[in-house]
Amino acid sequence: MTEPLPLSHSDGLLDRDLSILAFNERVLDWAHRPDVPVLERLRYLCIVSSNVDEFFEVRAEPHVMACLQDITSGAYNAKSLQDIADRTNAMVARQYALYNDDLLPALERKGYRILSHGERNAEQRQWVRSYFHREVQPLLVPVGLDPAHPFPQVANKSLNFIVQLSGKDAFGRSNEIAIVKVPRVLSRLIPLPPRVCGGSTAYVLLSSVIRAHLSELFPGRVVGQFSQFRVTRHSDLAVDEDEIANLRMALRQGLQHRHYGQAVRLEVSANCAPRLSEFLRKEFRLPEASVFRVNGPVNLVRLMQLIDLINAPDLLFPPYQASFPAQLPQQGSIFGRLKQGDVLIHQPFESFDGVLAFLKEAVMDPHVLAIKQTIYRAGSDTTMMDLLREAVRRGKEVTAVVELKARFDEEANINWAEQLESIGAQVVYGIVGLKTHAKMLLVTRREGRYLRRYGHLSTGNYNRRTASLYTDISCLTADADITSDMDQLFGHLASQSDLPKMKRLLVAPFQLHASMMARIQAVGQAAARGQFARIVIKINALTDVPLIEALLHAGQQGAKIDLIVRGACMLPAGVAGVSENIRVRSVIGRFLEHSRVFYFCADQDESVFLSSADWMSRNMMRRIELAWPVLDPVLRQRIIDECLIAYLHDGRDAWDLSSDGQYHRVGLIKPGASAQQALMHRHSGISQER
């Protein structure tokens, strides 16, 4: 059970930012589960820390600024920051208690220890001292603060120490405060050699190594109180696209300053002296609510390295091998298969290799003339880049719509764009002011006297790594109307000409929002007439107020509505007279839920859409997004079964939002079936039968 989510302002909706934090509390629950392997529990702990970092980098700045300006009303004010701080402090306390009291002892029982200075024996201390002098000290430049040595620039989320000194410096002055910045190139987790561990496995944290040798950085001075600290900065890049000539160059320049944006959070050690924490708070110009004391390393995210260092498969989930998509031929032409009908791939239960096989066939086929693709978060894997490069080499027309403003992937996408341009591909960056979040790949092939198109649409990114970690739906199609719409949309993105009327696709910011509103209203009207009326929506976030209000109204008309919302949800569920016909649940499993599925049924009119878009204002109004209908009745039923019914009946990994604003995990007393486990079993069975 989680803490209640307060209402947002006076509109009766739940608070968006606290709902995001509540999602991370549900993720943290996996780190507490004793039936989860210990390294996977550590992974969930690190994921939560990473998510909270991003929350502060993206969402906290207006709350902090409002508090500093003593604003007392509106969405952002001193109380809103305090609410975030209270919720975060409670979660952080749980994280560190779990780390110190549960995970570290559990790892020690398995033969793996992280040794503090006090736990290291003489031989281990000597090795650490040698390591410090050899690998660490040469890279450290302690800065004693005085008028000629101002407070140094501290990068976003970097490890640092603040030190109080007594005695005089080399010039007879008593500058009391020094700062030690720790370079990012230094490994945060250091394995001790077996010869000093008696054959066991042990590690030391870099912060512990530096802490044990701080006095050696200040010869002639006496080190008094000290603390590690980390500052989180606002990191959402903002460029005025109307005022720049080259978006790529402007973003590359902006990336250089991202690490030094407005400070929004300060983390210090739990035992940091108030004088030192107050000195840092004032230096970073932060309100008191932005200071967090932690009982351990200030960056738990870096402990993800431990999962890679420990070679112990029994401490991890059993490996899952995704099956090759059952609808695709492993031998023979995918183009030939698509002439028979559409193909759905349910990732990660089915492999992303099916999508790569489609692209590879297009690249190698001499009859393929053109390939067009959107790129949002492609990741570091070069397989797709290599295929596009080969397509250019073979003389095909390759067009890539690269979204340069994909948050925290800007640099990777800039590199993709530059590499593609360097080999002769046509690269465009979409529409000024709108992120291109739609995921589509279009192949044009000559077949006799005619050109025929084959398309791929997806709820997720063209990213091989995340395709093995996120649940998404890929759709391969040769449908003439859908592929014609895709071609028109690519033309719109490249030429910025008017978008023609779409036959099948719903495109944001043009028709998608209005179409969803109309379909909700149609279901509500059917309910008011006493007809069957049902809505089931599976998305990652629900924060768009007009869509929420439409859902509330349809529910009040009698429509039965189920919302499977992984993360932030501002709609209050099950409130008498308001939303008693609406159920909200969140499913948190081994894989990150990412697919978006929209189901509407008004009397005999049933429709299912897949989409790249969440139900957020930014997706509906400030992005190029897609939704497309699942036309084949067999595939439509498969989507209903695998993406909706399975999750509505999940009795292990689901959380239901109750009328009091709390999320309650189902199956705590008597666990039922897990939707993800059932899908893993189903598709691994398909794989074994092939």
Distance CA 209, CA 216 (A): 12
Q: Helices 16-32 and 78-98, interaxial angle, to 10°?
A: 10
Write out the H or E segment, with its range, that includes residue 440.
strand 439-447
- The one catalytic residue in 63, 234, 346, 437 is 437
Distance CA 560, CA 637 (A): 19
Q: Which two tokens stand for residue 225?
A: 């109180």
Distance CA 496, CA 120 (A): 65
Tell whether the torsion through CA atoms of 502, 507, 513 and 516 is positive or negative.
positive
Write out the H or E segment, with its range, that includes residue 265.
strand 263-269
In the three-class reduction of DSSP (H, G, I as helix; E, B as strand; rest coil), residue 616 is classed as coil
Distance CA 535, CA 558 (A): 11
- What are the residue ranges of helices labelled H in 474-540? 480-495, 512-528
> Whose CA is closest to 376, among 345, 401, 411, 351?
401
- What are the residue ranges of helices labelled H in 259-352? 274-283, 304-309, 334-338
Q: b/e for 561-599, b at 16 or more Cβ within 10 A? A: bbbbbbbbbbbbbbbeebbebbbbbbbbbbbbbbbbbbb
Residue 47 contacts by C-beta under 8 Å, 6 or more apart in sequence? 27
> Is 437 annotated in the active site?
yes
Residue 279 contacts by C-beta under 8 Å, 6 or more apart in sequence? 162, 177
Distance CA 553, CA 251 (A): 43
- What are the residue ranges of helices labelled H in 203-303? 206-212, 247-258, 274-283
> Whose CA is closest to 512, among 598, 602, 391, 396?
598
Question: Which residue numbers are catalytic?
Answer: 437
